[in-house]
Chains A and B, each alone.
Chain A
Amino acid sequence: MSELVLQSIFSGLLMGASYALIGLGLALVFGTMKIINLAHGELVLLSAYIAYTMESTLGWNPLWVIPLSILVVCACAILVYFLVSGIQKNRELNSLILTFGIGIIITNLSLMIWAANVRSTSVSWFQEGVVLGFLYSMRSELLFFAAGLALLAIIWRWLKKSWYGRAVRAVSSHRDASKLMGINPQFTEMLSFVLAGLTGSFAGIAIYCTNVIYPPLGATLTVKAFIVTVLAGLGSIPGLLVGSILLGLGESLTITLLRPSLRELAGMILFLLVLFVLPNGLFGGARRRG
């Protein structure tokens, strides 16, 4: 029994990196533009479907599809940015409705193009087991966990040190003041969308290789990204990572100890607990959300 629990903790941990990447995109865009992109999960899923298409038609390995899907998803993210910035009044609420609409478009186009079937990769290399002591995992899970952590570390470093990374943080903390410092807020906002597209498309490929995909998954991923940011309290990348690992652990323990169909409830309960007990998130300071 305890081995089973340890195994599920391990699996949950491995899921964490992808969730952190998805949550990061949502948090970055919220930081710079103060809007929530409800189509974020759908963009992540789009990247997974690009991998599926290239694999099933041309036989490409999903890993080689990463550059292509980054290109397509970032282009879509930039398009979303231009649409959102075209909103004239009451941007906070109207952007929600607009991105909700974009989410509907992407979900239904995927239904049209790829049908409602459940898809996953057929490259067997990914699915082969790796044994670490008594813990089992798929090759792809370990690979994408490590790569996801590396990507998070790079972005963290970039946000801390580079000029543009600091610009993103400056616009997040005070838009008008950052303008006075010679930062172009529009460009920075677009940059945050591109970053969200980049991390999202990577996470999409990871989900495709380690799990299964189907068109309505997009909305679930958006909710997961949201839960992760609520857990972390919008701020630091380490916080996001801890929040995502908590979500992953909650889900995999629910699958093991209760029932697989209750998986999505685990995140919700974590989310409700945090909402009741720590409204600023686990790592949020005194700042109120919203």
Chain B
Amino acid sequence: MKIRIVLPLLVVLYVIVPVLWGGDKYVLSLLVASFTIAGVALAWALLGNLGGMVSFGHAAFFGVGSYTSALLSMKLGLPIFLCILMGGVGATLISTTVLPALRLRGPFFALAILAYSQIFRILATELEGITGGAGGLSSIPVLPKVLGYDFSSKLGGYFVAITIVLFFTWIYHLIRRSYYGIALRAMQESEDATRVVGVNSTLLKAAMLFISAFMTGIFGAFNSHYINFLEPDYAFHSDWTILPVVAAIFGGYRSLTGPLVGAVAIYLIDQSIFKNLIPSGHQFILGALLGAMVLFSPDGLEPFISKKLRWGKRAAH
């Protein structure tokens, strides 16, 4: 992370974008939604890249995070930012139920977590006394005023979303660089060899699962206070799994910035072009994109572009 890259990026995100589009509610809401997807994509990529696990169940963590935070703020009246934090904690607690699936490797883990995500949607619908059932929760408290600034506006939501995304990116960077990050990457080469040199691989994988679930839960919680409405089919919708997976694969889930860039690109293109062209079923394009990426450029878009550029240069000579 070089300061040369980070500083201009911060200026663009915190100053230039708000100045240019601060009054445009449509652009801001698209941006906030795409940052929410970006955050989940980052969490997904952390589990995939460091933990070596492909998850098709992040919608479960997202939904649990949203409901935890919304219910805490509505029923107990706790401060909103504390509720959002508790949303992350709730999602982490729920992720402990996935632990027995950790002993399943590769494809079986992916399917087990797909099954889990269905359980939680059913539970949210059925536990009417707590969650309000299929009718959902409305008038969830908005983001509060802090130091005289009202975060409940679209622009306030934008600042909160971008700050959480950047903070988690930094955390991800620290983990990746740490001793544990190196151990985790070594595990992908050979899990047995890594265990021999004294790395507790199961513990580390579980830790990645917890961190990933925590991040996803935080974004779910933020989203519930941002849109002020929840229902089980929305909070646990498969979109919260599909969009981050496509974003991370498209941008390149092995890099730090790939999922973020991928999420913003995918979401903006999907919402501004395909949704208008094909109102129902426009996501088949995302599926096609996912397949094409796996077949032609499994490491994401970035290496693909740089390869093309190099090829172009060679051809010019």
Contacts and interface: CB of A to CB of B under 8 A. Distances in A.
Contact of A223 (B111, B281, B290, B298): B111
A102 to B, nearest CB: 6
Interface string B242-282: 10011001000000000000000000000000000010111
Q: Interface residues of A toward B: which range?
A: 35 or more
A219 B238 CA distance: 10
Given A104-B290, A264-B122, A112 B245 contact: no
A290 B54 contact: no
Given A92-B107, A112-B281, A116-B280, A104 B118 contact: no
Interface of B: prevailing SS: helix
Interface string B97-109: 0001101111111
A262 B112 contact: no
A133 B59 CA distance: 46
Nearest to B123: A265
Interface string A78-102: 0000010011111011111110111
A104 B284 contact: yes
Contact of A261 (B101, B125, B249): B125
Given A96-B54, A101-B291, A289 B278 contact: no
B286 interface: yes
Given A88-B298, A90-B298, A98 B291 contact: yes
Nearest to A86: B295
Given A105-B284, A268-B118, A98 B105 contact: no
Nearest to B97: A272
A98 B111 CA distance: 14
A111 B298 CA distance: 28
B314 to A, nearest CB: 22
A182 B281 CA distance: 46
B100 A276 contact: yes
B281 A98 contact: no
Interface of A: 30, 35-36, 38, 83, 86-90, 92-98, 100-112, 115-116, 216, 219-220, 222-223, 226-227, 230, 259, 261-262, 264-265, 267-268, 271-272, 275-276, 279, 289-290
A96 B107 contact: yes
21 contacts: A87-B298, A93-B106, A96-B54, A104-B242, A104-B284, A104-B286, A104-B290, A111-B281, A219-B114, A222-B111, A226-B114, A259-B126, A261-B126, A264-B122, A268-B118, A271-B115, A272-B100, A275-B101, A275-B104, A279-B103, A289-B108
Contacts of A38: 56, 110-111, 114
B317 to A, nearest CB: 28
Interface of B: 54, 56, 100-101, 103-112, 114-116, 118-119, 122-123, 125-126, 238, 242, 245-246, 249, 278, 280-284, 286-291, 294-295, 298
Nearest to B100: A275
Given A104-B242, A104-B284, A97 B290 contact: yes
Q: Chain A at the B interface: mostly helix, strand, loop or mixed? A: helix
A105 B278 CA distance: 14
Contact of A101 (B101, B111, B287): B287
Nearest to B109: A290
A69 B36 CA distance: 41
Contacts of B294: 87, 94, 97-98, 101
A97 B104 contact: no
Contacts of A94: 294, 298
B280 A223 contact: no
Contacts of B246: 101
